[in-house]
Structure 1
């Protein structure tokens, strides 16, 4: 995967950071550290990859691709058969397949569940944590997912909204956002030992005419 330099995320003042970020693939296995609930590979997107992503956004039929199985040639073939403008989408297909294979290798699984969608509205607009062990997310175009440092979360506010629930965000200006191209592993409450510390995150708000191309991968 390409390397990219990026400014470090600021540390919280009251606790060690529970996230790791960097421009090399070696940052992703840090998700196995007990203290880490977010690992982010910062990377730029090549012009060829962006061309394939833009082709998905410009098509009249919204893209919604779901797939489960062993990553490899079958995934590549299904992507090429489904994506719009397959003639320019080869680099996008290869990037998706590479990330799926990396996910399977990292979590020692034979299969993964993958979703690739063009979204024109927030999918999960309320802050929440996933009830699963881990998920890979990357946004190819549009704003990235938003997340909260643990020191800015009131977990009593999570779950279905009710009038008596407190606000989830406890610090003004605490909300962080992933950038387009970033590859992030989000640890959920289904990770053994992390039941009360799943990363709190949400989908970003989208302006009119600002769609988003999002991919997620789960170990299956």
Structure 2
């Protein structure tokens, strides 16, 4: 996958490419998930708050991850600026080990692709190794959009709108209702999936940001914020 391959034209919903509902009224479907790159630009469609390209972790990246996840050292790398050679060099210095070159290459590819897709001269990038859930409570991001992929461990969990009660969002309080209406409908991205999630800051999406949370356990995640 190249950065320019993310410039696939936007696809209008039709019987052939509309996402299949997980349950409830089909009018409430606000996600699209598939195996090809053209699913990611669907985040620009009105009403879509989650677009996902399924992607298994390659053997080369898995080999990069093996030693990193077994090491006791922590990892919390961040970058703010262009997706360029300076970013690549900074990440390579952080990871240090030559066997992690495949991971460096993939992180940089993801950063370049997101910068290209959103025409963003600067991006915010975070690569974190977590031993516990970063955001264990279901919530909505206040930003416009975020890219996320999980390299190791469990993927991000999310809720269809009709399986959630938005009145429960925000700080926990005894008077608030439970956010989750139906625990059996909690969804989870797979390790390796590439996902774009709209927040409440996306123009025209106030009050409709994707409801999601971090699962427990050790994980390695990459998050990219364009702009």
Equivalent residues in 2 for 1:83-94 (5 A)? 83-85=95-97, 87-94=98-105
> What is the RMSD computed on CA atoms of the aligned residues?
1.4
Partner SS for 1:91: helix
* Structure 1 unaligned spans of 5+: 3-7
Which one of 45, 60, 81 corresponds to residue 33 of structure 1?
Answer: 45
Count how many residue pairs are aligned between Structure 1 and Structure 2. Answer: 210
How far 1:81 moved relative to its partner? 0.7
Partner SS for 1:173: helix
Partners of 2:66 and 2:46 in 1: how far apart?
38
1:216 aligned residue: 223
2:65 aligned residue: 53
How far 1:13 moved relative to its partner? 2.5
2:91 aligned residue: 79
* Structure 2 unaligned spans of 5+: 3-18
Partner SS for 1:217: strand
Partners of 1:213 and 1:172 in 2: how far apart?
25
How far 1:135 moved relative to its partner? 0.2
Aligned residues of 1:55 and 1:84 also touching (Cα < 8 A):
no
How far 1:54 moved relative to its partner? 2.2
1:5 aligned residue: none
2:9 aligned residue: none
How far 1:59 moved relative to its partner? 2.1
- Residues 84-107 of structure 1: per-residue CA shift (max 9 Å, x gap): 42x111111111111101111111
Partners of 1:9 and 1:46 in 2: how far apart?
27
TM-score by length of 2: 0.89
2:16 aligned residue: none
Partners of 1:41 and 1:212 in 2: how far apart?
20
TM-score by length of 1: 0.92
**Structure 1 residue runs of 4 or more that deviate by more than 2 Å after TM superposition:** 8-13
- Residues 179-209 of structure 1: per-residue CA shift (max 9 Å, x gap): 1000100000000100010000000022xxx
1:184 aligned residue: 195
Aligned residues of 1:56 and 1:84 also touching (Cα < 8 A):
no
1:141 aligned residue: 152
* Mapped pair 1:67 → 2:79: yes
2:167 aligned residue: 156
- Residues 98-137 of structure 1: per-residue CA shift (max 9 Å, x gap): 1101111111110110000100000000000000000000
2:128 aligned residue: 117
- Residues 156-200 of structure 1: per-residue CA shift (max 9 Å, x gap): 000001010000011130100001000100000000100010000
